[in-house]
Structure 1
């Protein structure tokens, strides 16, 4: 239905079989690059491209995903990339759209995921600008806004240069270490007419002629050194960080750990990387090390870091920054280190640094030592650790996880996001799609968009995409959910609603305690109450199913059962779960310790 209550207009068949405008070729290039979707919020700076996507390509490959905010468009592409490992296209309107999207681009940068971000500007020729509006939407160096946290950018000034830039951007975004790229198209380039001559397809450079660089392989000397280090160690330890979603890679990681009888630590910042119920897995995955993980690291005499986020900080947590064990660093991340952002973390020691993809090195090591490789993990039903809770109990973190587990007991699910208060030991991850990791840059508001993108990527599979979101994250990104409902993408959100920016309550409590001031005031400027927010109502207003609020174990389990049934029938569902504030010990200590 449209705004007048009438049926929405139907999509017409494309009436322009041959490219006639510059933007037609740009749209054809997007299709040639294999971009299935383009997430966007409309803007006049790329009106030519928008027309070409709709009336030249017929809104197919790429299909438009209409978004209500540019930040959500990038977050949706981020979620897509976390599942597929491939980029989605995003279109941003001039400098204003790019500024809106900048936080989400930074998230994608920190999370090392590929996104093809296309912008628009101009006319760069000042004599062609409309009064007022074209001037405030044009900047001399538009990409400067995001250059410190993109892999590459360009501002091509002709159609031939634009097509070449798109090819280059695709290769750069998808080459490890991956990340977002940005290309801005001048309005005049988009809207210039083309001479319709035979052989116009020759203007589209074939992406097949611009393949990704072959992955670097570890040399035999490096492999022998790693094997010697690990076999000589009494307590070898593996830190499993940013790795692939491939089940075969998962099986090889298990084989490597078993071959060396090495303990394995995982965290919650990255996606599931190793079975948490395996005998060699130690500690609960979290944003910071658990007590058991710290103890394992304290006695380790050889550590292999497979692109672990913040290796130096992790060693410091265990008191090993001055007495570091023998360290092997397997990562390409140093290639993205720059002088603007400190997302590269502190400088970590490395007795051997192998500049290659982690799973490439794992495969080479397994082959080198001839370790037997088991079968890839199957998609199985969910595996909560906390399986029972008093039905009338309020929803503290442990009860929340137990009640959620009871509702999901027979389902195959993928957790797209988990909140800061999640207890890492409350759930077992036994498949690389069981959990997809955090947003990378810790930018609140990314969760809803990332869920929509991930759920879109999993729409044809057997898994039910689920996000457990904080109420602050939900409210900042809530209008991203309209895009999911509009495109009939099934998923389930459970909002862990403590009605507060609770992490900052902890910070304010610590500061008050240090200064001998009333800790009872920590809630002021933090609580999201008076008036209460109708989470379920906000979901319903955007065409989703809204359930709740619920506040006990039984009512949450019942709501989850209902939500699962609705989602499996094709709906987008949101549950408002009223939870008590609380973090695990490692989280509380890690987030507030200076």
Structure 2
């Protein structure tokens, strides 16, 4: 069987014309910026650019990825960036496409991943608009729709300005702290004829700035505090996926004798089976992690997602706190994703990885050993074959099914227990979506799988049924372009997160807890998850309801993935979360 590859799909007939249009120059700019793929849902506002990508560039470098919804397009770019650290391009049709894609852009903003978002608008000059449709698809300030959650946006009014805007957007998106940028092209600029093409810039001269080094004084002070600490703790947060950074991080922790906490929202940042790792990766710290923080005398926060909230949950923490982060540069007055303001003793204004290297240098700590690509390491015993599935037995059965496989866990559901799995490499787990927007999982899985396609890693995701249903049509793109992965839908047939909240409200108001399911359960009729997957062109397996059935389904799915297939398994689980998750979601203090 010949594996389907994206490069074999949608091959255009060669164009014979040498004419130059404005959008041809935009397309050449995308190629010069090194963009490999452009995820889009077609729209008339960028019909010129669409033509140029096909007939000027031959649909290669970049290649278009046709999506059935704009939110999927942005989610695919998000998942790709989480693996590679590099942005994909997303093109959104006018105001309506931008509104569709805005949730996924918000996720990327909260997750601090780079993304190049391009838009288009009907002619700004009202005299050039077609009746009705151009008026609907033209905004006076289209970027205002997302300005509060992109790093920069522009609507250039000339070709010269557009070239500069594309360069600036690329540099800003890829400069730490990374994030999405947005450039909006007037359709009249795209469709303007040029007698000759303007010269393209020297792209090598438009690169992100070199990483900022932390203050030498701050590094010396931080190194001294850590060296003399009796109970140092490292909060391993939003760090890079570079294996060299990972190795140095581990070496520094070992040299300090520090204890380490990790966060399941942001992906693998430290080996969770390391003897100095404490607690478990979680959305909210548990009692064990809280005790570690209360006993600490120095805490090093490596761009931890919410240091103030974490220390508040821990209780009385008297440690000196060192923060390495540039995140403050993205904080604005619109959103609160920056979390509470932490009290800090030293703030190193640099990426957490630059801080790690600088402190390690100051302490004479070596480079450490690079992490190996190892088979999955589930921490739970495999359940008996006839055991019915819940969130814990699903994890155990999935681990048995993946035995011996080197996999990247792209997504895990809200109720997943952090103690169920060990992460020993920066690509073992990629984290959540950043903005907690349901419907992001399928697109992010496809983007990550696209980035991992030529690696030895098998992309795996455990998705919720609500997440799957909001974005099921994203899987058509995976089938169309031959993007293999294994998705297990943890199907509790409910928006169970809100059942937990309704139970808490009912208890507080002395009302019947038995009614918590109303308006939450996804049943009567049941949804055929596997059937919906097959309708998109991917392989659908299930439903399965026992551990043994899931193990068999996973092994069957792996064989299909090895043949280049995209596979979805419908795993019927009893509603429920791990206890720490329930406590964190419903706490009122």
The TM-score, its normalising length taken from structure 1, stands at: 0.96
> Are 1:116 and 2:116 counterparts?
yes
Q: Which residue of 1 aligns with 2:149?
A: 149
Count residues with an aligned counterpart.
581
State the shift of 1:547 in Å.
0.2
Q: Which residue of 1 aligns with 2:290?
A: 294
- Hey, what's the Cα distance between the residues in 2 that align with 1:580 and 1:229? 48
Cα distance change of structure 1 residues 547 and 10 upon mapping to structure 2, 3 Å threshold: closer
Q: Which residue of 2 aligns with 1:532?
A: 526
- Hey, what's the Cα distance between the residues in 1 that align with 2:287 and 2:413? 20
- Hey, what's the Cα distance between the residues in 2 that align with 1:324 and 1:182? 43
Equivalent position SS for 2:459: strand
CA offset digits 1:382-420 (Å, max 9, x no partner): 101113211111112221111000000110000000001
What aligned pairs does 1:398-477 form with structure 2 within 5 A after superposition?
398-477=392-471
- Hey, what's the Cα distance between the residues in 2 that align with 1:207 and 1:300? 48
1:275 aligned residue (263, 271, 278): 271
Contact kept? 1:14, 1:54, Cα under 8 Å: no
Runs of 4+ residues over 6 Å off in structure 1 = none
> Are 1:381 and 2:375 counterparts?
yes
Cα distance change of structure 1 residues 378 and 124 upon mapping to structure 2, 3 Å threshold: same
Contact kept? 1:19, 1:56, Cα under 8 Å: no
Contact kept? 1:87, 1:114, Cα under 8 Å: yes
State the shift of 1:17 in Å.
6.3
- Hey, what's the Cα distance between the residues in 1 that align with 2:12 and 2:312? 61
Contact kept? 2:118, 2:185, Cα under 8 Å: yes
CA offset digits 1:214-250 (Å, max 9, x no partner): 1111232212111221122221100000011111111
State the shift of 1:13 in Å.
3.4
- Hey, what's the Cα distance between the residues in 1 that align with 2:81 and 2:73? 13
Q: Which residue of 1 aligns with 2:206?
A: 210
Contact kept? 1:291, 1:586, Cα under 8 Å: no
Q: Which residue of 1 aligns with 2:185?
A: 185
Q: Which residue of 2 aligns with 1:245?
A: 241
Cα distance change of structure 1 residues 355 and 18 upon mapping to structure 2, 3 Å threshold: farther
State the shift of 1:201 in Å.
5.2
- Hey, what's the Cα distance between the residues in 2 that align with 1:398 and 1:292? 20
Contact kept? 1:315, 1:324, Cα under 8 Å: no
Contact kept? 1:16, 1:56, Cα under 8 Å: no
Consecutive unaligned residues in structure 2, runs of 5 or more: 1-7
Contact kept? 2:215, 2:348, Cα under 8 Å: no
State the shift of 1:9 in Å.
11
CA offset digits 1:404-443 (Å, max 9, x no partner): 0000011000000000111100111000000001000000
Contact kept? 2:9, 2:481, Cα under 8 Å: no
CA offset digits 1:295-345 (Å, max 9, x no partner): 11111111110000011000001013xx54210010000000000000000
Consecutive unaligned residues in structure 1, runs of 5 or more: 1-7
Equivalent position SS for 2:193: coil
Cα distance change of structure 1 residues 392 and 476 upon mapping to structure 2, 3 Å threshold: same
1:229 aligned residue (225, 237, 240): 225
Equivalent position SS for 1:473: helix
Q: Which residue of 2 aligns with 1:173?
A: 173
- Hey, what's the Cα distance between the residues in 2 that align with 1:221 and 1:480? 50
CA offset digits 1:41-88 (Å, max 9, x no partner): 000000000000000000001100000000000000000000000000
State the shift of 1:19 in Å.
5.4
Contact kept? 1:272, 1:436, Cα under 8 Å: yes
Contact kept? 2:465, 2:489, Cα under 8 Å: yes
The TM-score, its normalising length taken from structure 2, stands at: 0.97
Equivalent position SS for 2:377: coil
CA offset digits 1:510-538 (Å, max 9, x no partner): 00000000000000000000000000000
- Hey, what's the Cα distance between the residues in 2 that align with 1:67 and 1:580? 33
Q: Which residue of 2 aligns with 1:37?
A: 37
Q: Which residue of 2 aligns with 1:3?
A: none
- Hey, what's the Cα distance between the residues in 2 that align with 1:150 and 1:17? 38
Equivalent position SS for 2:518: coil
Contact kept? 1:547, 1:574, Cα under 8 Å: yes
State the shift of 1:493 in Å.
0.2
1:395 aligned residue (386, 389, 400): 389
> Are 1:563 and 2:526 counterparts?
no
- Hey, what's the Cα distance between the residues in 1 that align with 2:94 and 2:70? 11
Equivalent position SS for 1:508: helix
Equivalent position SS for 1:450: helix
Contact kept? 2:38, 2:89, Cα under 8 Å: yes
